[in-house]
Amino acid sequence: MHFFGNILLLSSDLELYAKISGLLNKYEIVQQKFNPAGLMTDIYKFNPVVIIVDLDDYEYSVYNSISLSDADNYIPVLALYSKYKSAMQFIDTVMEYNMHKSEITVCLPNIIKIFADFKYKYSGIKQCYRINDLINSQTDNLLRRFIGNEFQYLESIDHILKCVFLNESQLVNRPKFILIASWNDDGTEVDIYDFDSGDMVKDKEAIELADSNRLFGVKREYENAFYMNPDKKEYSGMESCESIFDEELKQRLGEIINFAGYITTNTAILGVNYQDSVSQFDSGIIKELCINYNLIHNIYRQMNKVNSAFIYTVNALSRASEVNDDGTGMHIKRVNAYSRLIAESLGLDSIYTDTIGFSAQMHDVGKLSVPKNILTKPGMLTLDEFDIMKSHTLLGAKIIGDSKQLAMASEIAISHHEKFDGSGYPYKKVGEEIPLSGRIVAMADIYDALRTERAYKAAYGHSTAFDIITKGDGRVMPQHFDPQILEIFKKRNKDFCEIYEEVE
């Protein structure tokens, strides 16, 4: 592959410009007078593959200026001269490449071709390093979020793809599609990300492929970078130039112009239909992306295993706390569901709603330390017994402890019997002194307690429970609740009823 681009000619000689333009007619020749102050701007603006300096016009200072201006983006510099004696000291001291003007016709085209090809490869390597650094830094940020329990798997993958293929201004060759394929014993699933609109749009449904042993004409036997330009019969890392795309993929992607990818034993990432022909530089970027994707995916899988064990333990502890009130465990499931409903209605983010969706069930875990005869007493409790019953809030927080993962569960346990008007326990907190999670679970717990039969009360229907909460019955009063949460209950009370009936 030969690369054409701009050539910056630092000369005031119009005849020289005309001669070079005729010899190098596939390049864009930009003639400029040397201006040290504006040289860096010119290099950035024109991004030349070669800088040609006319030594008959300039002195020693020109090369120093070029070196300083191009310290981070090496560009070959060729010196042309006709006044041999005046140029020799300059050439021998600082100029890497030089040519007498009498040799231009014979030698210049080949020299420029070599320089341009070098610049193309150098730019490709530099871009690979830059994009790889970007991918690694984004992965590092995600791992820091993982350590801080703020890791969201799907959002993390989307974020990296956007950073690289949408927002990175120095990425020259961009694909129209990114495909992420993963497989198991049942086959292969391919997620498609479309960048054609100037934004990133992920297909709602993954495409399922039947052949899980071969993908895009590449075997899964070992890790491998590959690319293909079918129209030029160029390919690397593949058995042949015959690409194998599933018919459903062909229908979705349209004509396959080119692609570059990287495959491992369980994942492949592919860029399809790049703006220009693909090369090892494009597959190198995909390789770095695939390695980091696998890292994130493996962390996510391990995190899910740990999280599943954690949630199982939380569920078991919560069920144990309810054994004297509700042997089925349905009460805690419903309180989780009501709490999630309220949190979503308040417009809280997914991390909060997910957390309260499993933490709410631990609200009464402190009852494990309350004597059974008090929990199951059919009549009214004495003052001393009620004091013991109230202690379950403090005992619950103590049982849960100070684990960061259970921080919300702890504040729910200690605050879900506080009332907005300050008449609750254990600390008689008022209004927003009560944690939001406690205010949410207070509503969820009261509604389900009213609907559920206990040793000391009968079960109420939905309409009765609604009237008690919104109008009061002396023991439960509307001023006990956060007004915003009370309004949500009024508007969505039918959803509360549906949850109760579905999880009864």
* Number of structural domains in the chain: 3
> 218: domain CATH number?
3.30.450
Residue 291 lies in a domain: yes
Contact indicator for 409, 359 with CB cutoff of 8 Å: yes
DSSP category for residue 454: B
Instruction: Give the burial string for 460-481 (b: 16+ CB within 10 Å, else e).
Output: bebeebbebbeeeeeebbbebb
What does pTM read for this prediction? Answer: 0.53
- What pLDDT does residue 481 have? 97
Whether 158 maps to a domain, the answer reads yes
CATH code, domain with 108: 3.40.50.2300
The Cα-based distances of 68 to 31, 37, 48, 124, 138 in angstroms read 20, 11, 16, 22, 31
For residue 451, what pLDDT is reported? 94
**410: CATH:** 1.10.3210.10
Q: Rounded to 5 degrees, what are φ and ψ at 225?
A: -95, 145
Residues 9, 19 contacting (CB under 8 angstroms):
no
Considering the domain architecture, whether residues 366 and 408 belong to the same structural domain is answered as yes
Successive 10-residue mean pLDDT values, the chain, 504 residues: 71 91 88 73 78 76 59 74 60 63 90 82 72 70 56 71 85 90 77 91 85 57 77 73 70 89 84 90 86 76 70 74 62 93 96 92 89 85 92 91 88 96 96 97 95 84 96 94 97 96 85
* 331 in the same domain as 466: yes
Report which of 440, 442, 462 is spatially closest to residue 452, judged by C-alpha positions: 462
Helix axes 483-491 and 436-451, enclosed angle (nearest 10): 40
Strands 267-274 and 259-263: antiparallel
Residue 405 lies in a domain: yes
DSSP run (H or E) holding 179: strand 175-184
CA distance 499 to 319: 19
| DSSP E strand boundaries for 204-279 | 207-209, 214-215, 218-219, 224-229, 234-236, 259-263, 267-274
Q: Distance between CA atoms of 370 and 5, rounded to whole angstroms?
A: 81
* Residue whose C-alpha is closest to residue 398's, from 365, 353, 428, 375: 365
Is 422 found in the same domain as 327?
yes
Phi, psi of 435 (to 5 degrees): -55, 145
Residue 417 lies in a domain: yes
Do residues 37 and 79 both lie within one domain?
yes
Strand 267-274 relative to strand 234-236, pairing: unpaired
SS (H, E, C) 307-339: HHHHHHHHHHHHHHHCCCCCCCCHHHHHHHHHH
Q: Is 305 part of any domain?
A: no
113 is in which domain, residue-wise?
A: 6-124
- How is 283-296 classified by DSSP, letter by letter? HHHHHHHHHHHHHH
Report yes or no on 350 lying in a domain: yes
Residue 490 shares a structural domain with residue 421: yes
- Cβ atoms within 10 Å, residue 136: 13
Residues 77 and 198 grouped into a single domain: no
Q: Which of 155, 185, 403 is nearest to 300 (CA)?
A: 155
- Is residue 144, in this structure, part of any structural domain at all? no
294 and 327 share one domain: no
Beta strand pairing status for 267-274 and 175-184?
A: antiparallel
Judge if 419 and 291 occupy the same domain. no
Q: Are residues 12 and 58 in the same domain?
A: yes
Domain co-membership, 348 together with 492 = yes
Quote the pLDDT of residue 36: 67
Same structural domain for residues 375 and 295? no
H or E stretch covering 299? helix 280-321
Domain termination site, one of 269, 300, 331: 300
450: nearest Cα among 345, 335, 333? 335
Residue with tokens 């969505």: 492
H-helix or E-strand containing 98? strand 97-100
Is 260 inside a domain boundary?
yes
Same domain, 91 and 226: no
